[in-house]
Amino acid sequence: MADVPRSAVIGRDGLDSLIRALSARGRTVVGPTVRDGAVVLAELSGGDDLPYGWGVELEAGRYRLVERADGAAFAHSAGPQSWKTFLHPQRERQWTADRDSDGAMTFSQEATPAPSYAFLGVRPCDLRAIAIQDRVLTGGPHEDSNYRSRRERALLVAVECTEPGATCFCVSMGTGPAAGPGYDLALTEVVDGAGHRFLVRAGTAEGASLLDEIPHRTADPGTRAAAESAVTAAADHMGRTMPPVDLQALMRGTLSAERWDDVASRCLTCGNCTMVCPTCFCTTAEDITDLTGDHSERWRRWESCFDLEFTHLPGGPVRATPHSRYRQWATHKLGTWYDQFGSSGCVGCGRCIVWCPVGIDITEEAHALARERDAHAPAEER
Amino acid sequence: MTATARRFLDALPAVYRERLLSFARDRSFTAGSRVFDEDEEAGLFWILRSGRVALDAQVPGRGPVVVETLGPGELLGWSWLFEPFRWHLGAAASEAVEAHEFDAARVRAAIEDDPAFGLAMTRCVASVAIGRRLRACRIRLLDLYGPANGAGRRGPP
Amino acid sequence: MPVPYRVLRAGEETPGTVTLELVPEHVALNPFRPGQFAMVYAFGAGDAPFSVSGMDGDRLTLTVRSAGAVSAALARARAGGTLGVRGPFGTGWDEPAGRDVLVVAGGIGLAPLRPLVRRTVAARERYGEVSVLIGARRPGELLYNGEILGWREAGARVLVTVDRPEPGWADDVGVVTNLLDRAVFDPAVTDAFVCGPEVMIRVVARELAGRGVPAERIRVSLERTMHCGTGHCGHCQLGPLLLCQAGPVVSWARARHPMSVREL
């Protein structure tokens, strides 16, 4: 391993080679590409599919593609999808049940091998989101074995953020803009007078062997410094912040705040935020029986805590009001996730802000809750 | 003693407990005997020492329907303290009962003479007997054990 | 994936409630502890969580009240039929460690407590006082009527109260908390176990705490929607508690706050 480079510089051709090398290893390469007026995640056939020259303009309830003169490939921030689309798909068959003429039941689970993905362009916030879903789906007493096999076979190429969007707040959540652990390769894009290039670092042996396989040159001090300063600068111009308080305690302490009424008056309970959130994992079980009546399939599909029937007791829904459903989502994401899974459930990607049809902003809500709590706290507790 | 003590005498400060007990005489009821009937004058009241008393209402065609049972330590009767001093329900010993029996007029007179004793007695009757029974009644109004009302444990929609 | 269990016996417990005895068709699941739950699957209808009401070797007993599509399908199950079972899931009732044992059950809430009661009366000599307080809507809706005498004979003080008496009912009438005065227990050394409708749980647990039973030693069993039982579907949250893992049995110390917040 001593001769394997742990860091290097590659150009656009290197990126193209990387995609080809990943495909040659039998991997399905998924990454950002422009489609339907957005940067979406889709299977890439080559480097040309990457969104070179596209940036995004983000605001609460607003997403627009904008052309960029510098030709950068990763100067956009999180798009409408996240990697959970692939690792924790929207619909999945879990098992089937068959009944014979005596009424005896047999259960079976299909043994189709999981696809071997390579994810190219995983943002630091999304890298953390994957780790959070790992904890939820494989870190408890029971594991989702389908998720585990997809996850174990997935290779992650992270791309650090140099152009955060107006809705980004990864610094507040401690997830970016520099890549944390968990990647096989991490890229930092540099576009300056010295050219368009990518600083590459390997995080695993497989990442290192890939880097060894593609055209690369030694990481020069100039590129290292430019990459580092671009990421540092990104940290300084986050579009949003969370209040600098213990968010778990804030959520626990504001369950009866008036602010929930305010946000409930705007929230349509459409559940978009839960669909775009890279950590939201909730699912529902569906049983489908064919016309013979002797073959039944168990499917699970994404479900949103904004659905009225999400939590239903024999007497009716537990969270009957938009007030309690928004509060459930926000307090789970920012507060009770710690109790259940040991971390925040929010990574600061800003998707829920962008894709909310009425522009509800979780950071604004958290600031408002903090203000309301402080206003009601006795002076000595402030 | 707690705020929810059901034993009437435990909820009364010692000095007033002694005072009240100075009016007490022993009384027993055999199983099945009636203690009082609805709309009778509430001239007596009791604190049960043992046994059980059922409070009931006469429902034509169904006879006496029991609405609640009272056991040892409990106050039987509070209508003697408030006008018009008539029983709202009937009562029958559902098993042999030993009780302290009090003459309502004498206790009311003592209450008129000593407002502090009166306040202690009224508080005690209000919290231990009336308040508790009202809370219990409201919970029963919810009919929680009914199949349609959340009792189908761990059932899905 | 569920494991097939055959229905050995299906008997009507009360109108609308059946008790099913199940044996594994082939391989048994790991042993269940009192208070744990199983996800029980009726063909085509789906599965739902049920706390087991008995376990004896490989056999499982379930008491099911017909309330939704799955429970209705299970309530129609007949001897010889097959069901799918997953589990065991969740926390169980801790084995009582204090001197006195107090069990308070309301309605179908007696079902999850039954294995605990049976285990406790079977080891009666280990404990000081053992009281089982049972509230039911009507005398005819009282579960395990045939077993209660046996619990009494084994040395448990079993007291029963109903909301709506019927002619001939000689026991108590009123809410189950009314029985607390006649249960014998020293709050400081009592383990309390409570299950029933949520309002009843709150009232009983508050009353026990008010009488001095430490909140950590009052255990309650809670109910929320569950689709997976394995901590992945997210439905069974009650504030910080993911009830399929942190529950269904939770100490009052942890349950008190979440249970008091409206629509949590």
Q: What is the pLDDT of residues B111-142, one digit of tens each?
A: 999 999 999 999 999 999 999 999 999 999 98
The overall longest dimension of chain A from CA atoms, in Å, is 77
| Domains, chain C | 3-89 (2.40.30.10), 100-260 (3.40.50.80)
The reply to whether B135 falls in a domain is: yes
Q: Which residues of B touch C106 (CB under 8 A)?
A: 144-145, 151
Q: How many helices (H) and strands (E) does chain C have?
A: 6, 15
Q: Which residues of C touch B6 (CB under 8 A)?
A: 178, 180-181
CA distances from A115 to A119, A130, A239, C147 (A): 12, 17, 36, 55
State yes or no: pLDDT of B43 exceeds 60. Answer: yes
Range of the domain at B97: 9-141
The reply to whether B20 falls in a domain is: yes
Q: How many CB atoms lie within 10 A of CB C238?
A: 23
Q: Cα separation of A134 and A220, whole Å? A: 35
The tally of domains found in chain B comes to: 1
State yes or no: pLDDT of A192 exceeds 70. Answer: yes
Per-residue pLDDT of chain C (264 residues; tens, 9 = 90+): 999 999 999 999 998 899 999 999 999 999 999 999 999 999 999 999 999 999 999 999 999 998 888 999 999 999 999 999 999 999 999 999 989 999 999 999 999 999 999 999 999 999 999 999 999 999 999 999 999 999 999 999 999 999 999 988 989 999 999 999 889 999 999 999 999 999 999 999 999 999 999 999 999 999 998 999 999 999 999 999 999 999 999 999 999 999 999 999
| Residues 72-101 in C contacting B (C-alpha not used; CB under 8 Å) | none
Instruction: Say if C210 is an interface residue toward chain B (CB within 8 Å).
Output: yes
pLDDT of residue B120: 96
Q: What is the pLDDT of residues B48-94, one digit of tens each?
A: 999 999 999 998 888 889 999 999 999 999 999 999 999 999 999 99
CATH number, domain at B119?
A: 2.60.120.10
The helix (run of H) or strand (run of E) holding residue C10 is strand C3-14
Q: Which residues of B touch C174 (CB under 8 A)?
A: 68-69, 136, 140
The reply to whether B148 falls in a domain is: no
Burial class (CB in 10 A: 0-12, 13-18, 19+), C197: buried
| Residues 111-150 in C contacting A (C-alpha not used; CB under 8 Å) | none
Q: Which residues of C touch B49 (CB under 8 A)?
A: none
Instruction: Say if C229 is an interface residue toward chain B (CB within 8 Å).
Output: no
pLDDT of residue C130: 97
Is there a contact between A254 and A372 (Cβ–Cβ < 8 Å)? Answer: yes
The reply to whether B152 falls in a domain is: no
| Residues 140-159 in A contacting C (C-alpha not used; CB under 8 Å) | 140-142, 144
- Answer whether the bond into residue C88 is a cis peptide, omega within 30°: yes
The reply to whether B131 falls in a domain is: yes
Q: Which of C160, C155, C152, C120 is nearest to C35 (CA)?
A: C120
Instruction: Say if B148 is an interface residue toward chain A (CB within 8 Å).
Output: yes
Point out the residue among C43, C45, C239 whose CB comes nearest to the CB of A336. Answer: C239
Strands C100-106 and C130-136 come out as parallel
DSSP state letter for C33: P
